[in-house]
Structures are given as C-alpha cells and as structure tokens.
A and B are shown apart, each in its own frame.
Chain A
Amino acid sequence: AQSVTQLGSHVSVSEGALVLLRCNYSSSVPPYLFWYVQYPNQGLQLLLKYTTGATLVKGINGFEAEFKKSETSFHLTKPSAHMSDAAEYFCAVSWGSGGLTFGKGTHLIIQP
C-alpha cells in the first residue's frame, strides 16, 4: 500500500527564515503526490501537486516542492516564512480508487 511519512509533527521557524517540511513516500510505482495546507477551523486547501515530469513543482503562496526519486522524498519549501503561513501541512499520495492517503501532518509555527 502507498503511504507517506512526514518527519516532525511540529516545525518552528522565524519570520523571514526558510521553511522546510519533510515528506517521504513509499510507493512501488511512480507516485502522484500532493501538499495541502489547513488553516485553523478550515478545510484543506491544495498547495501543489506532483505528477510525472518536472521535479520542481511550484505552488501557491510561494511554496514549492522537489521530487527526488533517489531519496523517495517530496519536501516542501518556502524561501521566506510569513506569519500567515502558520498552519497544518499535509503530504498525501494518490492511490487506485482515486482517494488520497495523508501523512500525519506537520504543524508550522512562525516566530515573530
């Protein structure tokens, strides 16, 4: 079964610093990977998705993710954190019947 592992349930960075949220996937076939963001008391919003092709994927709000097959990783980055980036971030992998399997989430804290 396909799965994703997010390293670090909580990540704290200073405003203006680099954001790095880690995601590793387990898949026997080329995966379809997604990053979602959940702001407090809201649903999940798609940040970006990887299909086959370009390894660097750009998303909304200045986020991007790099697909590295050799490391089975799909880490999410943002060059400069903003206070409004504080939220829960989920990595997810697509599977057969069209559903998504989510990682356990990473809570991003932005220090002023």
Chain B
Amino acid sequence: DTAVSQTPKYLVTQMGNDKSIKCEQNLGHDTMYWYKQDSKKFLKIMFSYNNKELIINETVPNRFSPKSPDKAHLNLHINSLELGDSAVYFCASSPRPPGSYNSPLHFGNGTRLTVT
C-alpha cells in the first residue's frame, strides 16, 4: 500500500508554462510538506500544512502556490516555470502537529521536474 503518493513521477515542460504536482497520503497524518531537492541532492523545505492550514512558508517565489483541499492532499502549483525550477520535489507527511519534535517524516518517491 502506497503511503505517500505523488503524481506525476516525471514532468518535462518548457519555460513559461504552468504545471501542478499532486500529493496524497493515506496515513491519516495531519501535517504535510513540500521539499525541493536540487541537483546536488540538497533538501530544502518549501511549505508545510497542518490540517489544511499553511504553517511553514519558506523563502519561495510566489510563483509556487500550495493548495490543500483536505488534510490528505497537498498539491503544488507552479506558474511561469523557469530553468532554475528543475529539481526533484518531494511530498512528505507527519503524524504529529507542529512543535512535536520527534515526529519522523514519511516521504513520497518524488517528482522529477525538468524545465527546458
């Protein structure tokens, strides 16, 4: 059973386009995240939602807009794609509310975005 699933797995698009990545978790977790992994494997948090409410919004261009229709879903929409947006985007979820320090994150398998 897939715990955190992302679609699509691969996304190739041209500069200037708008694209979305979808994420769903069936773990019953309250908190979901988007992380970006660059070409050097560095992972950086982008957003976090708890029960559909935005709680973390790191320094991310406002071309990136997360949407959480319910606590099991957290989608990422990207407008006016740029070459520098090429990366692997990971969705993750956590069982505990914010401030619960010892909660591990459960990750999806990632979406590899290539902007040409």
Is there an interface contact between B48 and A96, defined as CB atoms closer than 8 Å? no
Is there an interface contact between B41 and A104, defined as CB atoms closer than 8 Å? yes
A100 in complex: contacting residue of B45, B96, B98, CB < 8 Å:
B45
As a 0/1 sequence over residues 12 to 37 of chain A, the CB contacts with chain B under 8 angstroms (1 = contact) are 00000000000000000000101010
B33 in complex: contacting residue of A36, A46, A99, A105, CB < 8 Å:
A99
Residue on B with the closest CB to A50?
Answer: B102
| Contact of A43 with B107 at beta-carbon distance under 8 Å, contacts A98-B31, A99-B45 already known | yes
| Contact of A45 with B42 at beta-carbon distance under 8 Å, contacts A94-B102, A97-B99, A98-B99 already known | no
Is there an interface contact between B55 and A97, defined as CB atoms closer than 8 Å? yes
As a 0/1 sequence over residues 31 to 42 of chain B, the CB contacts with chain A under 8 angstroms (1 = contact) are 101000000111
Is there an interface contact between A88 and B110, defined as CB atoms closer than 8 Å? no
Is there an interface contact between B99 and A43, defined as CB atoms closer than 8 Å? no
- Chain A residues with CB under 8 Å of B41's CB are 38, 88, 104-105, 107
Give the interface size bracket for A toward B.
Answer: 20 to 34
Does B100 make an interface contact (CB < 8 A)?
Answer: yes
As a 0/1 sequence over residues 16 to 51 of chain B, the CB contacts with chain A under 8 angstroms (1 = contact) are 000000000000000101000000111111001010
Does B105 make an interface contact (CB < 8 A)?
Answer: yes
Residues of B within 8 A of A (CB): 4, 31, 33, 40-45, 48, 50, 55-56, 90, 92, 94, 96-110
Residues of A within 8 A of B (CB): 32, 34, 36, 38, 41-46, 49, 51, 88, 90, 94-102, 104-105, 107
Q: Jot down 9 A-B pairs with beta carbons below 8 A, ordered by A.
A: A32-B102, A41-B109, A94-B103, A97-B56, A98-B50, A98-B97, A99-B45, A100-B105, A107-B41
